[in-house]
Structure 1
């Protein structure tokens, strides 16, 4: 089998005994375990610089595991009748609420159940600029984040919206419930953000390299009984994991976000069950200029589950 071009090289250090495919699935959540197994069998994984072809290989701890991420295979994307919560729609675009747990676009190991699968069923004309795998997708939210997104129907609309995002003309406000009682009322964070030099599934604040990222944090409510705070976050740039990285750098990781420091043991079982493996990060307000009409459109949501239930629980506990 002819190997595909390598688009990224990821390196991981094994901390304890594990099975190779299980280990890679834990440390690199972008791919499913089935796809990880396929990559191992096709020779895209090295253990201590030696190729390995058995997904079941036992790791003792201390090994260096390298994942050679190949260019994606062309995916067949099928329309799926998945309910969508659409707030606004016209001939040019639509605005919807992406639920927690939904992947935005297909990728290896996530070829169904995505927002794109749902859009292909519900919408006849989507922009093609994002390619076969990302029709209509102008911007994205992480799988475990919920909230507002805008989707383009035509290429000209897509270009206009993308330009607004690039030129920072789009209003993007988030609500985040973070760990800890925040001592300040307002904080401006300006850093460079890029991939973590060791843990390649994470992003981090970098002194050298990375891309400029700017976030503003406003305290809305404090919940001292449960050691948590509700923040409003305005982002001026759209870097991968930006809010998650910046919140963690302030010592206040987002509830549910174990990748960036959330400590589950510090919270009661009832609250953890309410999280449902979601990050308490909600894209709550989205504003932009309509590409065709030129008018300003602005949308706001607050009652999105499980964010609302968690927030109500914290308020009742005061």
Structure 2
């Protein structure tokens, strides 16, 4: 296994793999040939039975869980569906957020003419809930560092919810942020129950921005 790949893996056994996705790398293959490179295909070069359980946006970095084999994929996917997986993200957003914590409850739906962009739709959107907590404020830079808990798992949920607050994630030009080196969103913590042993596993990843 290459040094680069070994640095991406947090945990591996006969049931699952926990890996670190770099910002800019796809979680799963895209339709076009130039978008075939992704984290799951890289993992499959070393563990051919690896299968996708969930996804992160291409712009997002951080922890991802992959199953080894169909039975483990079903078991782990069920934990996501039943909201038994603990997920925490860290983001740097534009502006100084008022208050110390709160919830964003806005229904989301795909903005089809502009996909993959999502939009808020009270009439047609799916229920979407994000809990947030301020970690730090930088008055000089006019930014706020926040911890995020996505209670639901809609596409672009954290990105659009924060933009809807008037505080888009730094670098997220899709949702009206100013350009930056990267979109400052990182999957920092991941917790779930091992499908074979029943043990609770918790993983952490240092925020790179």
Q: TM over 0.5, yes or no?
A: yes
TM-aligned CA distance change 1:250 to 1:111, over 3 Å: closer
Matches within 5 A, 1:1-318: 83-84=4-5, 85-109=8-32, 110-126=34-50, 136-196=51-111, 198-264=113-179, 272=180, 275=181, 278-304=182-208, 307=209
Q: Report the TM-score when normalising by structure 2.
A: 0.93
CA distance in 2, matches of 1:195, 1:82: 39
TM-aligned CA distance change 1:232 to 1:105, over 3 Å: same
CA distance in 2, matches of 1:188, 1:165: 20
CA distance in 1, matches of 2:137, 2:109: 30
Larger RCO, structure (CA 8 Å, separation 6 or more): 2
**Could you give the per-residue CA deviations for residues 130-179 of structure 1, whole angstroms, max 9, x where no partner exists?**
xxxxxx11000011100000110021111111111000000010000000
CA distance in 2, matches of 1:193, 1:82: 40
The CA deviation at 1:289 is 0.5
Gaps of 5+ in 1: 1-80, 127-135, 265-271, 308-318
TM-aligned CA distance change 1:111 to 1:200, over 3 Å: closer
CA distance in 2, matches of 1:82, 1:191: 42
**Counterpart of 1:211 in 2: which secondary structure?**
coil
State the Cα RMSD in Å. Answer: 1.7
CA distance in 1, matches of 2:147, 2:154: 18
- The 8 Å contact of residues 11 and 18 in structure 2, kept in 1 or not, is answered as yes
The CA deviation at 1:184 is 1.4
CA distance in 2, matches of 1:228, 1:220: 11
Of structures 1 and 2, the larger Rg is shown by 1
CA distance in 2, matches of 1:186, 1:161: 30
Runs in 1 of length 4+ with deviation above 6 angstroms? none
